Amino acid sequence: MKKILIINGPNLNLLGDREKNFYGDTTLEKIQNICQTVCNKYQLECEFFQNNNEGALIDKIQSVDKGYGGIIINPAAYTHTSIAILDALRATSKPKIEIHISNIYAREDYRRKSITSEAVNGVICGFGENSYSLAIEAISKLIYK
């Protein structure tokens, strides 16, 4: 069974409490449970990680080549600002999918540019918690092709 890494960036630990008009009332814990269930369906094991610090996210991305089949990342606000996360994503040859709960292209102007998407195989956004399930299905096809 292949293992994937699911990374969640800053403020996603506040899901369920913050900006429900964009993110709904689903908590990160509920999303983690959904991911584990969906991963089982696709014969994947998942490690779920959230951190508010850019350096911790970079360290985790850099671990992907050692023991993971791919990465799903919701870089959150770092999507629009972090060249360091972009560089870390570029450094791994494993399949990578960027996800967002909200549709970043239907939001504020500064959210419509994803710096990090330049280094991933694809982007899924705007499907709420289902963005994670869709990404797991997609990455399983990249891993097991």
Any idea what the Cα angle at residue 63 is, between residues 57 and 65, rounded to 5°? 135
Q: Please tell me which residue in 23, 42, 78, 132 is annotated as part of the active site.
A: 23
Active-site residue identified among 42, 68, 78, 100 = 100
In 3D space, the residue among 136, 62, 72, 68 whose CA is nearest the CA of residue 99 turns out to be 72
Is residue 100 annotated as part of the catalytic site, yes or no?
Answer: yes
CA distance 116 to 38: 25
- Whether the CB-CB separation of 107 and 113 falls below 8 Å is answered with no
Q: 8: which residues sit within 8 A by CB, 6+ positions away? A: 28, 48, 49, 50, 51, 73, 74, 76
Number of Cβ atoms within 10 Å of the Cβ of 117: 20
Residue among 120, 124, 102 at smallest CA distance from 111: 102
Catalytic residues: 23, 100
